[in-house]
Amino acid sequence: MNTVLTADGQVALPAPARRALGLKPGDRLRVQIERDAVRLERPRRRLVRVIMKRDPVTKLPYFSPPQGTPVLTLATVKRTLKDFP
């Protein structure tokens, strides 16, 4: 498959390549330069470390959310659920 570099530096991926990889508009791709080639690949998902703890009162196990995780509040849940029938 061939494609053309535009004056703006953009390259269109041929439809068969997009379909084969399941790419959609807005998907992010990582660009790597390898000798005389350019390689496009999907970024790998970042693994997150979670810690299992026990609730001091109930003694039930739970996973501690990673640092920086937004707090889930009742107001957030209500805002989310109001969009559902």
Which pLDDT tens digit goes with each residue over 57-73?
Answer: 999 999 988 777 888 89
Yes or no: say if 62 and 55 are a contact pair by the CB < 8 Å rule: yes
Task: Indicate whether 42 belongs to any domain.
Answer: no
In a domain, 2, yes or no: no
Cα 57 to Cα 4, 44, 50, 54, 62, distances in angstroms: 64, 39, 21, 9, 12
Residue 59 lies in a domain: yes
Q: pLDDT digits over 1-29, tens only?
A: 899 999 999 999 999 988 888 888 998 99
CA dihedral 27, 30, 31, 35 (to 10 degrees): -140
Predicted pLDDT of residue 55: 94
How sure is the predictor about 51, in pLDDT bands with cuts at 50, 70 and 90?
confident
- Residue ranges making up the domain that contains 74: 51-81
How many domains in the chain? 1
Q: Please, where are the H alpha helices in the chain?
A: 15-21, 74-81
Distance CA 45, CA 42 (A): 9
Confidence of residue 42 (pLDDT cuts 50, 70, 90): confident
